[in-house]
Amino acid sequence: MENLIPDLDILDRNKELTEEVKTTGDYNSGKKRKLYIESYGCQMNFSDSEIVASILHNEGFDTTSDIAQADLVFLNTCSIREKAEQTVRYRLNHINGFKKKKPELMVGVLGCMAERLKTKLLEEEKIVDLVAGPDAYRDLPQLIAQVDEGAKAVNTFLSREETYADISPVRLNSNGVTAFISIMRGCDNMCSFCVVPFTRGRERSRDPHSILAEAKDLFDRGFREVTLLGQNVDSYKWSEEENNKARLEKKGVDQVVNFANLLEMVAQVNPDLRVRFSTSHPKDITDEVLHTMAKYENICKNIHLPVQSGSSRILELMNRGYTREWYLERAKSIRTILGDDCGITSDMIAGFCTETEEEHKETLAVMDEVQYDYSFMFFYSERPGTLAAKKFTDDIPVDVKKRRLEEIIAKQSETSLARYTKDIGKKYKVLIEGTSRRSDDFLQGRTSSNKVVIFAKENKKKGEYVNVLVESCTQGTLLGKIVD
């Protein structure tokens, strides 16, 4: 085991959010046209691509993993940082080579970048035929028809109701074990650095009946883990009056379903169905959610709780809605209610507008106190149209931002190794998700706290639960063996 290269280190994890690209798998049911999708950025984008594939499958498209075989290419994009948008522009230039060889190839841009740049993409990127925002995917058949007739097509309308609740996603590149379930869309938090409220619109929650139906269907099809997705899952709230849906009744009283209620409902689908969720907002996560997690063994003990900064002054400029003290109290409650084994992960931004050296050190101090398993760490990138771009000057030199980021990454690497080392000698229940990235002789899965575990295959297979004794670790991977 000591010679096995770890699957994922702390720097790999940090690259996931900026550089991971997921493409469509091959789904051939005899349809005449082929769809190829590349998805960039967050898990919500990957989930949205599955909705797009489902909508277009009903309109005569199968999916392909080979762009050369495609009749329609979609890039499902991210606008969270400038680098993410640059990556898409470079990719469009590359796709231009395919279009020169195949002029009838249709190219579309979906998602947050589409919403933010709208018609500018059609004007500047000459190969783009179609632009659709996150709430316009039902309109894709009509938009494609417009392009088929020789016109450009765009729809970036943001909806106050759209949740795609009635669409069964096509599970792209699925391992058959884990799946995403989108429970809400949009965001009402106006964090000053963030473009999401402008690209994904206002917050709205999905009908809990449709969420439960999707979870039950996934379990019946052999899936053993679902991740409930939302920009801020803690603010999930569904009621007849607010959502204008069919009545939910409990003892004759209309029921308001909050996130803790929904979490319990999904956990009760089957004790063998693991439940995860992402992302939580520190100002909204409640003790009710934490106690619900503690009540059910199959609700995984891992919370992504982005701090962004350890300085109360910077948090106020970021419009995060909490102070340093509030955040630390929430982290303390997690440890008290769920125990030290509960994984806490975070996002951090180095070099936000006017950040001083002392405030940077406050972030490092929060990292020492909370002890994150891992974090996604970046230096501040000003996004056009955000409150920060309008109100503040991006006044921290790039070299200072990079140096502070390096210090944050070094601190997290040290903390991650310490957190993972504490698991040596412990036994964990692991859901097998497939073979190791590095060797077919080993399997991999995750602990309840979301740590990747690598172990010898023996006679076990994907989708099974096994108990694994941790024997060693790196700063991003546990290494162990199956035990009774």
Spatial contact of 368 and 328, defined as CB atoms under 8 Å apart: no
One-letter amino acid of 397: P
pLDDT tens-place string over residues 335-388: 999 999 999 999 999 999 999 999 999 999 999 999 999 999 999 999 988 999
pTM: 0.87
Residue 30 has pLDDT above 90, yes or no: no
Share of the chain above pLDDT 90, in %: 74
pLDDT tens-place string over residues 136-153: 999 999 999 999 999 999
Residue 114 has pLDDT above 90, yes or no: no
Higher-scoring residue by pLDDT: 3, 221: 221
pLDDT score at 45? 87
DSSP one-letter string for 323-380: -HHHHHHHHHHHHHHH-TTSEEEEEEEES-TT--HHHHHHHHHHHHHH--SEEEEEE-
- The structural architecture, per CATH, of the domain 427-483 is Beta Barrel (2.40)
Backbone φ, ψ for residue 99 (5° rounding): -70, -30
Q: How far apart are the first and last CA of the chain?
A: 19
Three-state secondary-structure class, residue 38: strand
pLDDT score at 43? 86
pLDDT score at 85? 85
pLDDT score at 249? 46
pLDDT tens-place string over residues 176-215: 999 999 999 999 999 999 988 888 899 999 999 999 999 9
Strand partners, 343: 302
Q: Tell me the residue length of the chain.
A: 484
Range 25-155 classified under CATH 3.40.50.1000: no
Residues 6 or more apart in contact with residue 341 via CB below 8 angstroms: 301, 448, 449
Backbone φ, ψ for residue 150 (5° rounding): 100, 5
- Residue intervals of the chain classified under CATH 2.40.50.140 are 427-483
∠ at Cα 132 (128, 135), nearest 5°?
A: 170
Cα 5 to the center of its chain, rounded Å: 26
How far apart (Å, rounded) are the C-alpha atoms in residues 218 and 318? 38
Residue 21 has pLDDT above 90, yes or no: no
Work out the mean pLDDT of the chain and round it to a whole number. 90
- Residue intervals of the chain classified under CATH 3.40.50.2300 are 25-155
Q: Which two tokens stand for residue 94?
A: 């590359």
How far apart (Å, rounded) are the C-alpha atoms in residues 139 and 164? 12
Q: How confident is the model at residue 403 (pLDDT cuts 50, 70, 90)?
A: very high
Q: What does the buried/exposed string (b/e) look like for 364-378 if buried means 16 or more CB atoms within 10 Å of the residue's CB?
A: bebbeebebbbbbbb
pLDDT score at 12? 45
Spatial contact of 111 and 78, defined as CB atoms under 8 Å apart: yes
